Amino acid sequence: MCRMNWDDLRFALAVHRLGTLSAAAQALGVNQTTTARRLDRLEQALGVRLFDRMGGRMTVRPEGERALDRVARMEEDALAVLHTLRNRDEDLSGVVRVTSLPVFTTRFLAPRLGRFLERHPAIRVELVGAPSNLDLGRREADVAVRFARPQSGSMLVRKLGHLGFAAYGRADDFPAGNEPDLPSLSWASYDDALGHLPEAQWLAQRVPTEAVRATATDVLTLTELVKSGTCAAVLPCLIGDAEPGLRRLTGLQPVAIREMWLLMHPDLKQVRRVRAFVEWLEEIIAGGRALLEG
C-alpha cells in the first residue's frame, strides 16, 4: 500500500459533491486527467474503491460516502482555523461576503450600500445574489439573508423581519377604480419547482391552472412580464410598489408573507467588520420595514 497524500482527499470530496470528473476538475482549477490521476492514487493508497464509474457519472460507494462525510467535517474544521487566523485582528477592515436572493441584493441592499461603505471605508462588501443557498459552513459567504427559517445546522440564526407580496398588473391595463376579476386574467407564476412558496400557493388557490400562461424561476423575470402587459403576477411589494407603471390588484394588505432570517457562522460573531455589517443590515431593514412588508 502506498503512502496517502492528504491533498488527494480534496479531489475526492469535489468529485463526490459535483458528480463528474470534469466538473470537479473545473472547480479545482485543474484538468480532468489530473483529477482522475489524483483519485486513482487515493484509492490505491486506501486499498478501497470510493466510486463506481457509470458512464460519465461518479457514484460514491457506501464505504466512500462514510469516509467523505468525515473528510467534509475535516474541511470545515480546517476552514474554521483559517478564518480564526485571518480574523484575529480587531480592525474594521477586510471583506464581508453577503449572500441572498438576487431580488434582495439588487433592489434593497445595493441601493443602500453606499452609506455603509462611507461609514467603513476600509471594508469591502461582496454581494452574492444567488437563487440557491451558499454553504456558510464551507465559508462560501460570511452572512446570509434567507426567506425561510433553516430547520437544521449549527449557524447563528436571527429573525430580521418580513417580506410582503401582492398581485400586480400593468397600470395602463387596470385603471383606478376598476377592480379586476382575478380568475379571468392571464397570470405568470413560478414554475412547479417553486410551487411551495407562499406567494405561489396563494395564486394557485385563487386562479384556475389554465389562467397561468407563463412561468419563471425568478422575481425579476416575473416583473418584466407584468411591466410588458403580458401577464399579472404576485411580486414582492418591495418591487411592485416601486415600479411606476404597475398597480396593485389586491388592495392595501399583502396577500402573502415570508420571514426574513439572518444566518452567520458562530466563528464570525466577534469579528468586528462582520458585526458592523450585521448592525447596519438590521438598521436599514428596520428603517425600510413599511417598504419590505408592503
Q: Where are the domains of the chain?
A: 8-86, 91-294
Whole-number pLDDT of residue 229: 92
> pLDDT for 25-79, tens place per residue?
887 788 888 888 888 887 787 777 888 787 778 877 877 777 777 766 776 666 6
Q: Kindly report, residue by residue over 99-125, the tens digit of the pLDDT.
A: 898 889 999 999 999 999 999 999 999
Stated length of the chain: 294
The three three-digit cell numbers of residue 40, written as one number: 486513482
The CA R_g of the chain, rounded to the nearest whole Å, is 24
Q: Which residue has the higher pLDDT, 268 or 248?
A: 248
Please state which architecture CATH assigns to domain 8-86.
Orthogonal Bundle (1.10)
Mean pLDDT value of segment 184-212: 91
Check pLDDT > 90 for residue 131.
no
pLDDT band, very low/low/confident/very high, at 89 (cuts 50, 70, 90)? very low
* 3 DSSP assignment: P
Q: What is the mean pLDDT of the chain?
A: 84
Q: Is 91-294 a domain of CATH 3.40.190.290?
A: yes
Task: Using the predicted structure, report yes or no on whether residue 199 has a pLDDT greater than 90.
Answer: yes
Contact present, 283 and 103 (Cβ < 8 Å): no
